Chains A and B, each alone.
Chain A
Amino acid sequence: MAKFSFRGGVHPVYSKEITSTLAIVKMPLPQKVVVPMQQHIGAPCELLADVEKIEKGTEVKAGQKLGDNKGFVSAPVHAPISGTVVDIGPYNHPLGMKINAVTIESDGHDEWDENIKPAGSLEDLSADDIRKIVREAGIVGLGGATFPAHVKLSPPEDKPIDVVIINGAECEPYLTADHRVMLEKTEEIVFGLKAMMKALGASEGIIGIEDNKPDAHKQVESMVAEEENIRVCTLPTKYPQGAEKMLIYVTTGRVVPAGALPMEVGIVNHNVGTAVAITQAIREGKPLVERVLTVTGSGVAKPANVQARLGTLASEVLDFCGGISESTLKVVVGGPMMGLAQPSADIPVIKGTSGILALTDEDVYLAESSPCIRCAKCVSVCPMNLMPTSIAQASEHGDYRRAEKLYALDCFECGCCSYICPSKIPLVQWIRIGKNEIMKRKNK
């Protein structure tokens, strides 16, 4: 059991029971995939038009690299299926804009690139080898943040890492993909963790799991029983338990300084799905071309945890789950607390897509906001100990200097403030606007 507890947080209705007992189902091979050149934080990929001749009409194999960028903070993208490139151009992206993407029509054979082969046993691989494998496989943080994984595995020399934490908190309501991965791919998580520990020279591995998933906890616990330097840490169920800084504090008691990265306190964090992806990259040589996601919400006919190839359209995924009801008000990619509402389901599943939700008025709360009554509930739930109402107000008034003084940039947008607000003020939205403006000024 965790010794520490982070301040604030909220207890939303979790609605995880809808899908938590449903085993992961593999989606049939899609007819068509759309692969955006940007599925990660960092420099967008450039199409490999010269070397690999990726252009309209090119035949590609599954796992073949489609785009890359020489920049360090970036991750290549690969073809999720074999087939023909039928289109290259801007396509709807879950981030809400159109981003350059490659559309591939399946040949139905699912032939894999011949260069894909096991990398050898973990003992024979050096730390550099592991980093290279992870980079080449295009692995990014699968919890949703999509930060390139190899970057986190390459800390500067003056920042030694002693602990690797695997994030199995899955604190977002509705989502159960990580839960199922922990139950069904336990061994791969532990292997992935060991690979990361080796790449970082870390001496301790921690797997943090919220206590609303006792079966996953038991399963993982039994898997690491023999491991001397890996332990499972039970986390109290509270949103946002899975937020990087909260998770680190709760599992180790270490406080990541404001504005700094976890490596500052000798820690690297990875999602359970990322650990599995790393394992598959090492064992099978497979790049990141599929992921597990939860399809749920009151608007979905047959909610499920599905394993889908990246690039599969959300509309196809929803159809696979029985379609969505007419009363659907919102289609959200990600969880209900931090996910992005979509104007249409014509968007591809990308590396960071942890869930697709179809929410009806049973799930969403639509209300007009009224003036702030200064109840300070947002202040007491803020895990970063900020004053959301004051920041939002400064931002609303265009006083971005004050917003910055109130530490707007420390907000990681968990949404607890907006969630709890009795006046239903979109606090985190105002704070986002403020953060944007502050960053614009800084970059000037």
Chain B
Amino acid sequence: MVINGKLIVSSSPHIRSVESVQSVMVDVLIALFPAALMAVLLFGYRALLTMVIAIAVAMLAEAIWRRKSDIFSDGSAAVTGLLLALALPAAVPWWLVVVGSASAIIIGKQVFGGIGYNIFNPALVGRAILVVSWGGHMAGDIWPSPQPFAFGYDAAVVTGATVLAAPEKAVTFSLPEMFIGNIPGCLGETSALALLIGGFWLVYKGHIDYRIPGGFIGTVFILGVLFGGGFYANIFMTGLFHVVAGGVMIGAIYMATDFVTTPVTPAGRLIFGIGCGLITMLIRLWGILPEGVTFAILLMNAVTPIIDNFTIPQRFGGVKKSA
């Protein structure tokens, strides 16, 4: 028998699943599509513009930094760009999007060594930089209230702060409205419905662990019920309010589940989710900021290695039964 050419000798297994980093990232982009669509429907063309700028700048920044001509590459930069865009208010100027997206990729990810090596969620690093540098653009009363399903409305006309800023604001919106997303807020965070659709799909695909959003949202709900403040007369309504208002949904489903910056152990992921919920509510209820999701997740990112170390799973057969 003649063998032409050399045989490859490598370690088993010799077959691999077809899933790649790129295919996973494309799945995440698909999961974010409903939220992106709702953003355009609710906030108009500016939302689309913000998303396009953010994604383009993120991919470009990464390609330039890595000196690679492959713009899309593994798709992670596009995910970061889209997530950042969805966490921005509708009325942000274009240069803010550029700065945020570029710093998300470069300061949030590439300076650490690129994908896999960053400690903090890149999109949230970008957002945090914008919040502390241009707070005026990122929060407060120039946030526009959305005109439901109105394309191309003039954002300057209507103004209104996030519902989290004041209890008296909240009651003007019904919970169903908040669930659909017909409320003021960042582009992609308002529609709990759209976010949930993508979230269930990601759980089904096995890309995210239900423990993180479960722990996060559950904690926010429980603390909302117990200490939620005077948003509604019914405390359970207040709990629900805290879940659907602000960035909890998008944070819990898409940002706290970022692979690189969250624990790998099942128990660690639950702890991570609960920690995010806890810090979010601490900031919301007793901090000076109206919203705390960004910093909650970033803080938990920082302790991820410690969580992993303390939650090493029990190996199969590890507990010896006493005879």
Contacts and interface: CB of A to CB of B under 8 A. Distances in A.
A386 interface: yes
B3 interface: yes
Interface in A226-281: 245, 249, 255-260
Contact of A387 (B11, B21, B312, B320): B312
Given A370-B21, A390-B264, A432 B115 contact: no
Contacts of A10: 17
Given A377-B206, A385-B314, A341 B15 contact: no
Given A329-B7, A407-B315, A375 B24 contact: yes
Contacts of A177: none
Interface in A358-389: 359, 363-367, 370-377, 379-380, 383-387, 389
A373 B8 contact: no
Instruction: With a 10 A CB-CB cut-off, give which of B3, B15, B18, B262 has the most chain A CB atoms.
Output: B15
Query: For chain A, which range describes its interface: under 10, 10 to 19, 20 to 34, or 35 or more residues?
Result: 35 or more
A74 interface: no
Contact of B316 (A255, A357, A370, A376): A255
A259 B21 CA distance: 34
B141 to A, nearest CB: 40
A341 B3 CA distance: 14
Interface size class of B (residues with CB under 8 A): 35 or more
Contact of A363 (B7, B15, B265, B320): B15
B1 interface: yes
A318 B19 CA distance: 32
A117 to B, nearest CB: 38
Given A12-B15, A428-B12, A374 B115 contact: no
Contacts of A96: 9
B116 A374 contact: yes
B7 A319 contact: no
Contacts of B260: 373-374
B318 to A, nearest CB: 5
A2 to B, nearest CB: 16
Interface string A325-364: 0101111101011111111110000000000010100011
Given A173-B15, A428-B13, A328 B316 contact: no
A256 B315 CA distance: 11
A389 B313 CA distance: 13
B308 interface: yes
Contacts of B9: 96, 330, 341-343
A7 B20 contact: no
Interface stretch (A106-114, A216-224, A417-425): A417-425
Nearest to A414: B13
A257 B319 CA distance: 7
Given A375-B207, A426-B11, A319 B318 contact: no
B316 A245 contact: yes
Given A328-B7, A422-B21, A374 B264 contact: yes
B4 interface: yes
Contact of A341 (B8, B315, B320): B8
A316 B8 CA distance: 20
A319 B308 CA distance: 52
Nearest to A246: B316
Contacts of A413: 12
A79 B262 CA distance: 58
A367 B15 CA distance: 11
Given A96-B9, A375-B259, 14 more contacts: A12-B17, A255-B321, A331-B3, A337-B12, A365-B16, A365-B18, A366-B8, A367-B16, A373-B260, A380-B266, A407-B315, A421-B16, A424-B20, A428-B11
19 contacts: A96-B9, A173-B15, A328-B7, A337-B13, A341-B8, A341-B11, A343-B9, A364-B8, A372-B116, A373-B116, A379-B266, A386-B313, A389-B264, A415-B13, A418-B13, A418-B16, A420-B17, A421-B16, A422-B20
